[in-house]
């Protein structure tokens, strides 16, 4: 480990992640650890230059105040306490330090070097991956999403052909998405890539299924089965690469957090398929994952990809999926993405996509009545996907998108724009 580190001890603050980010923005690496870390555990962390005791509204748990173990006071590291802090700490602040106050502590009191950058991070991870994996083999489910793509690029750099990537095309990918995974990873980065076209299998299982939750269950379950079948065909794999990132770990709960969300990882693999995990991004925030991907040479289009649900276009082809409507979703989505990119909206709007409902409406084409599908365009902005506001898309852009969808997508005679914020509407329709 080449970087200096500031350790943030979680004493019940809801702002641990914000503080960790603020320290990293100064160019100094930081990690959040539980308040009851022992002096021994702290000593084992590399290059720690100082501690921030981050108190806050969850400072009292089950009637008892949260306190660090007293041996930490003798550890000799500079300490800063925030919010109702313990009297034993010399440096105390009422609120989260920003700007000069934080800079003074990190660089002045702790004497940390601003040496946290992606080049150093990648060099560290490559070293750690090689030490962990040795000459063994690693398997990775490569969806083409940002996190799995960056993990793949990192593992290719560290262990090359000892990595096997499996890309499962469930037939619900966006236009050219699987093709670009193959192009980047097989043709450019020379990865061992197994491409499984499971389109027929997924569409078969989904036939006639209209209930959104049922659809999601089928897609998720089938995905694990296909991946498992591929994993069983390979020999001597001991490790599983995974795109866990820092918010997954923070959100999975600290000892003081009141809101706990379970940590989502690939999971669901049968007991007898036991792997040790390799998670080289588990200390990175999302924007750091993107910088890491760019540094590893991935194309910007992959690194800045908008969020895309695991069940893919399956939840945008509403109700029971039919091939003609799935094609309409895929083609209209491609048109929307092209036009948003042309208008520069792709860099500003958080998420934008199309859906096709499972009913038709009356229209007129070539002087004759037609009865065809409708495309709904949705474009939203959000910070955390818990709430979302509708993007006020320029009228000319909407007109152009509409013209192109009506001209280029078969079986469609109507285009609508979804004006609903979240809540009450969710971002996706199913």
Residue 352 Cβ vs ligand XMP, minimum distance, rounded to whole Å: 11
Work out the number of other CB atoms within 10 angstroms of the CB of residue 428: 16
For the CB of residue 351, give the shortest distance to ligand XMP in the complex, in Å. Answer: 5
C-beta of 310 vs 363, nearer to ligand XMP: 310
Task: Check if the beta carbon of residue 290 is closer than 8 Å to that of residue 149.
Answer: no
CA 53 to mean position of chain CA atoms: 28
Q: Is 385 in the site for ligand XMP (CB under 6 A)?
A: yes
CA 429 to chain centre: 20
Q: How far apart are the first and last CA of the chain?
A: 44
CA dist 213 and 426 (Å) reads 14
Q: Are the C-beta atoms of residues 343 and 331 closer than 8 Å to each other?
A: no
Q: By CB under 6 A, is residue 426 in contact with ligand XMP?
A: yes
> Rounded to the nearest whole angstrom, what is the least distance from the CB of residue 401 to ligand XMP in the complex?
19
Q: Toward ligand XMP, which CB reaches closer, 247 or 310? A: 310
Specify the stretch interacting with ligand XMP by CB under 6 A; choose among 53-61, 335-343, 394-402, 421-429.
421-429
Q: How far is the CB of 109 from ligand XMP (least distance, A)?
A: 41
User: 83 vs 248, which CB is nearer to ligand XMP?
Assistant: 248
- Residue 364 Cβ, how far from ligand XMP at the closest point, in Å? 34
Q: Which residues contact 403 (CB under 8 A, 6 or more apart)?
A: none
Size of the site for ligand XMP (CB under 6 A): 10
Cβ distance to ligand XMP smaller for residue 47 or 382: 382
Question: Which one, 40 or 384, has the nearer CB to ligand XMP?
Answer: 384
Alpha helices in 207-322, H assignment, sequence order: 212-233, 246-251, 286-295, 300-303
- What's the min distance (Å) between Cβ of 254 and ligand XMP? 23
The whole-angstrom separation of Cα 40 and Cα 8 is 16
The answer to whether the CB of 330 falls within 8 A of the CB of 313 is yes
Nearer to ligand XMP, 93 or 425 (CB): 425
The minimum distance between CB 390 and ligand XMP, in angstroms, equals 13
Q: Cβ closer to ligand XMP: 145 or 253?
A: 145
- CA angle centred on 20, ends 59 and 118, rounded to 5°: 160
Structure tokens at 76: 């000799």
CB atoms within 10 A of CB 261: 12
Q: Nearest approach, Cβ of 376 to ligand XMP (angstroms)?
A: 14
The sign one gets for the Cα dihedral 378, 287, 281, 109 is negative
Could you tell me whether strands 368-381 and 412-417 are parallel, antiparallel, or unpaired per DSSP bridges?
parallel
User: Could you tell me the smallest distance in angstroms from the CB atom of residue 217 to ligand XMP?
Assistant: 11
Q: Which is nearer to ligand XMP, 244 or 351 (CB)?
A: 351
| Closer residue to ligand XMP (CB): 157 or 175 | 175
CB 4 within 8 A of CB 49: yes
Question: Interaction with ligand XMP in 289-328: which residues (CB under 6 A)?
Answer: 307, 309-311
Q: Does 427 bind ligand XMP (CB under 6 A)?
A: yes
Of the two residues 306 and 411, which places its CB atom closer to ligand XMP in the complex?
A: 306
Smallest gap from residue 307 Cβ to ligand XMP (A): 4
Q: Is 422 in the site for ligand XMP (CB under 6 A)?
A: yes
Is the bond into 423 cis (omega within 30 degrees of 0)?
yes
Interacting stretch for ligand XMP, rule CB under 6 A, among 12-20, 69-77, 79-87, 419-427?
A: 419-427
Q: Dihedral of CA 278/284/285/288: which sign?
A: negative
Selected from 254, 351, 354, 402, the binder of ligand XMP by CB under 6 A is 351
Specify the DSSP element, H or E, that contains 407.
helix 395-408
Tally the residues of the chain: 430
Q: Which among 14-22, 82-90, 369-377, 422-430 is the span making contact with ligand XMP, rule CB under 6 A?
A: 422-430
The residues that touch ligand XMP, with contacts defined as CB under 6 A, are 307, 309-311, 351, 385, 422, 426-428
């Amino acid at each position: 480990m080449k970087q200096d580190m500031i350790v943030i001890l979680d004493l019940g603050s809801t702002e641990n992640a914000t503080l960790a980010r603020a320290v990293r923005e100064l160019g100094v690496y930081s990690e959040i650890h539980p308040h009851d870390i022992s002096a021994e555990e702290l000593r084992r962390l590399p290059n720690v230059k100082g501690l921030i005791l981050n108190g806050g509204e969850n400072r009292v748990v089950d009637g008892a105040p949260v306190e660090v173990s007293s041996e930490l006071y003798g550890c000799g590291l500079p300490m800063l306490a925030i919010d109702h802090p313990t009297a034993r700490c010399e440096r105390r602040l009422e609120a989260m330090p920003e700007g000069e106050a934080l800079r003074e502590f990190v660089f002045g009191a702790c004497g940390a070097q601003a040496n946290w950058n992606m080049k150093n991070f990648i060099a560290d991870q490559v070293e750690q991956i090689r030490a962990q994996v040795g000459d063994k083999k690693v398997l990775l489910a490569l969806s083409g999403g940002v996190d799995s793509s960056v993990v793949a690029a990192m593992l290719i750099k560290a262990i090359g052909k000892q990595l096997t990537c499996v890309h499962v095309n469930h037939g619900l990918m966006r236009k050219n998405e699987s093709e670009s995974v193959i192009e980047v990873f097989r043709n450019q980065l020379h990865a061992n890539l197994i491409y499984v076209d499971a389109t027929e299998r997924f569409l078969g299982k989904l036939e006639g299924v209209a209930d959104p939750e049922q659809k999601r269950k089928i897609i998720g379950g089938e995905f694990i089965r296909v991946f498992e079948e591929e994993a069983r065909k390979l020999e001597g794999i001991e490790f599983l690469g995974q795109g866990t990132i820092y918010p997954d770990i923070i959100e999975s709960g600290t000892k003081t957090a009141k809101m706990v969300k379970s940590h989502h990882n690939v999971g669901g693999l049968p007991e007898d398929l036991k792997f040790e995990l390799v998670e080289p991004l588990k200390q990175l925030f999302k924007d750091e994952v993107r910088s890491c991907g760019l540094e590893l040479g991935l194309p910007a289009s992959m690194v800045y990809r908008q969020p895309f649900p695991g069940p893919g276009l399956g939840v945008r082809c509403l109700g029971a999926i039919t091939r003609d409507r799935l094609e309409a979703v895929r083609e209209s989505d491609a048109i929307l993405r092209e036009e948003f990119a042309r208008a520069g909206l792709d860099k500003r709007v958080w998420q934008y996509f199309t859906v096709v409902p499972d009913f038709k409406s009356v229209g007129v084409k070539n002087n004759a009545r037609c009865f065809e599908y409708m495309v709904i365009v949705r474009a939203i902005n959000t910070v955390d996907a818990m709430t979302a506001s509708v993007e006020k898309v320029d009228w000319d852009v909407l007109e152009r998108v509409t013209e192109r969808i009506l001209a280029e997508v078969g079986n469609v005679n109507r285009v609508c724009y979804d004006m609903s914020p979240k809540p009450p509407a969710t971002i996706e329709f199913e």
